[in-house]
Amino acid sequence: MAQTSGRVLAPMAATVVEIAVSAGEQVDAGQTLVVLEAMKMEHELRADAAMRVIAVAARVGETVEEGDLLVELAPSDRAAAPVHVATDPAPERSLRADLAELIARHAWTLDAERPEAVARRHALGLRTARENIADLCDAGSFVEYGALAVAAQRSRRSADDLMRNTPADGMVTGIGGVNGAAFGPDRARCVVMAYDATVLAGTQGMRNHQKTDRMLGIALAQRLPVVLFAEGGGGRPGDVDAAVLAGLHVPTFASHARLSGQVPLVGIAAGRCFAGNAALLGCCDVIIATAGSNIGMGGPAMVEGGGLGVFKPEQIGPSAEQARNGVIDVLVADEAEAVAAARRYLSYFQGRTAAWEAPDALTLRDALPENRLRSYAMRDVLAGVCDRASLLELRAGFGVGVLTALARIEGRPVGVIASNPLHLGGAIDADAADKAARFMQLCDVHGLPIVSFVDTPGFMVGPDAEAQAQVRHVSRMFVVGARLRVPLFAVVVRKGYGLGAMAMTGGGFHAPVATVAWPSGEFGAMGLEGAVRLGYRRELEAVSAGAERDALFRRLLDEQYANGKAVEMAATLEIDAVIDPAETRRWLVQGLASARIAEPGVRYVDPW
């Protein structure tokens, strides 16, 4: 209030709407003297101290200018009131009506207000959307967007019914921190969206489409990872509040797909995930699904409506099938494991960890059998190179001829591709090539260096292989490898034969930042046995079949093996070095420290 030496002045141009005192009146500190109105807002002018009103200079309805005298005051001649020290607790203040209404509205969005729905969920062995979000996000970090939305069904249901039974329109959305303690709050921020299966079966409604679009826009603008809990049954036909016929104009699916290659996209499926929900899930970089999940582009009603038969939900896209065919990247037991896997997956894209534990490097010297024809477990090799407990394998049940995993080496996240000698001797078939090519894309768009462990006789061949469109599928590895902007390092563990070995190294042995081999490495344009049979057919046929021909074959094979040994390859500079297996980790640490990532181009992660 403008008050100078007992003179109360107008602080702005305004209209006097109330005179609350009169001449001669005694007023206390804080008591209202005059109320002005300007630009539809009322402004109370109060006394600064106990005073006596000498004169009132303004009238109700009068327009005053800034600085005009309104009331004249003088010091009060009334004795000061005694000061009382309160001994009883202050009475509780009642909430304003608007605040009380807000609190009540928010309460209906919480699980505590919906015990029956929560109990039904728990009876299925599943968690609520809010329980999953609370488990995923760091404590107290989740900020919800759109909590007060309800289904767009006001023309057929009461406001109270919608508030109580369609909270958040069946989808909880917001921004929260994930792994903030390890990587800091800036790197931890993620957009989180969870369809709520307790509300209209987790279907996609008009309002939750709007919420999704809002969050996806923020994720793109702020470059925030997205975690999507995708359980639900697809589009919802019951939203009738807007004049929409098919709803095929909604931007949700394009907005979600546009994020591919821009930020990490994590999809989680538990229970039933069909139609539109499955479409969003399928656009994610990684799909984490529970053993009890069913994932399909159409649920039972859609299948039956298409005249394709009557099926139970459990018969459509069961998890075992979807893990085997490559839809599911990480198969887990339940939602708790799914959330843990999501936190772990995101960590590889949040930075380097300060703490790590090195494996015993000397175990690598004994990782391979001395018999060059004997198979072994490549996963043991990976465990001997990467930080302990840092491997997260993706698509383990699909394309098993090649292993793909995220891992850390001295805390630094890397992508790992590796031949699997336990399957077809490490030969690369169509599925394995698809798996490897997509994984290289994933690492490339998110800036993870790639380490390739090679032990392959080449691409799979034969009429059955070609019937699988092998020519197109395996060539994806060359196309993706040729465009990598992240550094690639190659370790030839044993067999490095033909085009398959070249594909595992980004297109050729000089494509990686460095290509090294263990002493067990052996090389050739094709498998040595086949090379001898084809290249020396005339010589072999010139001797008698039986012991004499077998002896000649073994001699020629030994010569080929001696010529293609790792040390000979290094001597002709076709590879960069031959190293002690125990030195593999140290060699990779040094290489990763000096590697650089090129400028990004226009990239996305192929859904397949």
Q: Is the pLDDT of residue 605 over 70?
A: yes
- Residue 87 pLDDT class (50, 70, 90 cuts): low
* Mean per-residue pLDDT of the chain: 91
- Residue 3: pLDDT band by 50, 70, 90 thresholds? low
Please report the pLDDT score of residue 555 as a whole number.
83
Overall fold of domain 2-75: OB fold (Dihydrolipoamide Acetyltransferase, E2P) (2.40.50)
| Tens digits of residue pLDDT in 454-500 | 999 999 988 999 999 999 999 999 999 999 999 999 999 999 999 99
Q: pLDDT band at 281, cuts 50/70/90? A: very high
Of 334, 311, 237, 317, which Cα lies nearest the Cα of 279?
317
pLDDT tens digits, residue range 381-440? Answer: 999 999 999 999 999 999 999 999 999 999 999 999 999 999 999 999 999 999 999 999
Instruction: Band the pLDDT of 545: cuts 50, 70, 90.
Output: confident
Q: For the chain, where do the domains classified as CATH 2.40.50.100 start and end? A: 2-75
**Tokens encoding 507:** 């297109």
Q: Does domain 99-347 sit in CATH 3.40.50.720?
A: no
SS3 annotation, 169-224: HHEEEEEEECCHHHHCHHHHEEEEEEECCCCHHHCECHHHHHHHHHHHHHHHHHCC
- How many whole angstroms separate alpha carbon 71 and alpha carbon 23? 9
User: Which pLDDT score is estimated for 172?
Assistant: 96
What is the C-alpha to C-alpha distance for residues 12 and 403, in angstroms, rounded to an integer? 75
What topology does CATH give the domain 361-521+565-594?
Answer: 2-enoyl-CoA Hydratase; Chain A, domain 1 (3.90.226)
Taking the CA of residue 125 as centre, how many other CA atoms within 13 Å lie in the half-sphere pointing to its CB?
Answer: 8
Q: What is the pLDDT of residue 237?
A: 80
Render pLDDT for 189-207 as a digit per residue (tens, 0 to 9): 999 999 999 998 899 888 8
Confidence of residue 570 (pLDDT cuts 50, 70, 90): very high
So what's the pLDDT on residue 436? 98
Question: How many other C-beta atoms are found inside a 10 Å radius of the C-beta of residue 459?
Answer: 26
Amino acid 95: pLDDT: 85
| CA 535 distance to own-chain centroid | 52
What is the DSSP code string of 390-451?
Answer: --EEESTTSSTTEEEEEEEETTEEEEEEEE-TTTGGG-B-HHHHHHHHHHHHHHHHTT--EE
Highest mean pLDDT among 30-34, 69-73, 93-97, 282-286: 282-286
CATH 3.90.226.10 domain extents, the chain: 99-347, 361-521+565-594
Place of tokens 């109330």: 18
Q: Using DSSP, state whether 303 is helix, strand or coil.
A: helix
**Is 172:136 a contact under the CB 8 Å cutoff?**
no
